[in-house]
Amino acid sequence: MIIAVDGPAASGKGTVARALARHYGLPHLDTGLLYRAIAHNVSREELNPEREADAVAASKFPDSLLDDEALRSDEIGRLASIVSAHPLVRAALLHRQKRFAARPGGAVLDGRDIGTVIAPNAQVKLFVRATPTIRAKRRHAELRARGSTISLDRVLADIRARDLRDTGRSTAPLVMAADAILLDTSFLSIDASVQKAIELVDHRRAHRLPAG
């Protein structure tokens, strides 16, 4: 079974995807990390994220980089949303993601275009969302816990800018697949979000109509 989990930044999609992978015993790929790895290379090599050729030149990285905590910073997330708009960057990461999705026992992938581009035939597609204000509050609390002094307004502005870039780009924009199930986590705790996601997956598996 392939489970595709898409949604905007800080919607809870990563937490939900990880929990689903654990619950169903499937391997999990956080595809945002791939774009973050390229952003990290761009930053380290002082390249221009807006230039497609620069971003492509930074698109080779070892798997070990994906475990680097530095990838999780907000600045790298911001740069990732810039480099990810380049079609050639997306093309450079396409096969790796498709190969992961095609693993024999199935897989859980989370990102922005999993249900639309990477795994359009996924048995289950979830689109996880929450209001921008709630996402900003969550991200703000996370950053504060890591010692940051950033203001809530700034985090909200960053989230809105990222949403605009991710939904507005012409290649693989963030959009809910026609056959995805919506999971709004705005007023759900983490546990309740995960519980709801498992119910939705079980329901879709039990009632899925044959493809075609």
CA dihedral 150, 162, 40, 98 (to 10 degrees): 140
Residue type (1 letter), 206: A
Site for ligand C5P in 159-198 (CB under 6 A): 162, 166
Write each residue from 35 to 54 as x if it is in contact with ligand C5P (CB under 6 A), else as -, in one continuous string: xx------------------
Q: What is the distance between the alpha carbons of residues 165 and 46, in angstroms, rounded to a whole number?
A: 22
Q: Is 24 in the site for ligand C5P (CB under 6 A)?
A: no
Q: Does 12 bind ligand C5P (CB under 6 A)?
A: no
Identified binder of ligand C5P from the candidate list 111, 128, 159, 177, rule CB under 6 A: 111
Contact flags string 80-99 toward ligand C5P, x per CB under 6 A: xx--x---------------
Segment 99-105 long-range contacts (CB within 8 Å, at least 24 positions apart): 100/27, 100/29, 101/2, 103/27, 105/26, 105/27
List beta partners, residue 57. Answer: none
Binding part of the chain for ligand C5P, among 77-85, 134-142, 143-151, 189-197 by CB under 6 A, reads 77-85
Residue with tokens 């090599």: 45
- The residue ranges that bind ligand C5P (CB under 6 A) are 9, 31-32, 35-36, 77, 80-81, 84, 111-113, 162, 166
